[in-house]
Amino acid sequence: MKIVVLVKQVPDSSLERHLSSDDFTVDRASASNVISEIDENAIEAALVLAEETGGEVTVLTVGPDHATESVRKALSMGPDKAVHVVDDAIHGSCAVTTSKILAGALGKQEYDIVLCGAESTDGGTQVMAQMLSQRLGIAALTGARKLTVDGGKITVERQTEDGYQVVSAAAPAIVSVWDSMNTPRYPSLKGIMAAKRKPVETLSLSDLDIDPATVGAGAATSTVVSAEPRPPRGAGQKITDEGSGGSSLAEFLASEKFV
């Protein structure tokens, strides 16, 4: 089984993140960049599937030069090879055009299943799997917390706000996963060493037959017109419980009309 995992490099969400002041794109230059957290669950799911089916795992990313670090990190977990779409014209692309680039890159790959995180930790839009499904005409099984493959039939337990759904489709399909699905493995030292020698193919827009004028900030279907830091949320009153902390809390809640 051939598996492609979509990986996005994002600014570390455990640190402060910013938009660039000039074009309101995500400031990656000053950030500590990492693999979007839930994508690591997608990599883990891909590796487990590959182990079960004797498959091959390819990492696919669209991003600037320094996304290579995340590609190597992903490879150190165990995938076989990687494809990195990099082109200056991509900077500032919206989700709609990013899906066009990813669909173009997937068009050059052989795959039975495409795996990705259900959302990225920066954009958090949850739209990419369905956008790719729409573009490629393949099934999208989204929000998986459990994934099973039986022959050509893919079944997913899809986490919903109200509970869950069991949904199924025939391959090829794109499956987006939540972090509740598994615990990503840590790269071993052997894995880190091996990752350095794994093939990483670099593709430009022309390799994908995509006109640079149709992507990037200039062609974005949505734009940010202003960005302001949220006014800092100052700490309020803080008391130490010396026997009547609960009563004081009740008094506060009453004064704020919550009781």
Partner 1 sequence: MAEVFVVATGANKLTYEMLTLARGLGEVSAVVLGAPGTAASIADNLAEYGAAKIYAAEDEALDKYLVAPKADALAALVTAKSPAAVLVPSTQEGKEIAGRVAVALDNGVLTDVTGLEADGTATQEIFAGATVVKSKVAKGIPLVTVKPNSVTPEPAPATATIEAVEVSVADSSKLVTVEETVVEPKGDRPDLTEANIVVSGGRGVGSAEQFSVIEEFADLLGAAVGASRAATDSGFYPHKFQVGQTGTTVSPQLYVAAGISGAIQHRAGMQTSKTIVAVNKDEGAPIFEIADYGVVGDLFTVLPQAGEEIRKRRG
User: Taking CB under 8 A as the criterion, which residues in 129-158 touch partner 1?
Assistant: 129-131, 133-135, 137-143, 145, 155, 158
Q: Please state the closest distance from residue 185 (CB atom) to partner 1, in A.
A: 16
Q: How would you classify the pairing of strands 173-177 and 56-62?
A: unpaired
Among 150, 161, 186, 190, binds partner 1 (CB under 8 A): 161
Q: Is the dihedral of CA 104, 180, 45, 163 positive or negative?
A: negative
Nearer to partner 1, 108 or 135 (CB): 135
Q: How would you classify the pairing of strands 153-159 and 56-62?
A: unpaired
Residue 236 binding partner 1, by CB under 8 A: yes
C-alpha dihedral, 237 to 239 to 243 to 249, nearest 10°: 20
Map the footprint of partner 1 across residues 26-65, applying CB under 8 A.
37-38
Among 48, 95, 192, 200, binds partner 1 (CB under 8 A): 95
In the numeric block, which tokens belong to residue 56?
A: 């091959």
x/- letters, 100..129, toward partner 1 (CB under 8 A) = ---------------------xx-xxxxxx
Residue 182, CB-side half-sphere exposure with 13 Å CA sphere: 20
Q: Please state the closest distance from residue 104 (CB atom) to partner 1, in A.
A: 13
C-alpha to C-alpha distances, 221 to 77, 95, 97, nearest whole angstrom: 35, 8, 8
Q: Please state the closest distance from residue 193 (CB atom) to partner 1, in A.
A: 30
Residue 186 binding partner 1, by CB under 8 A: no
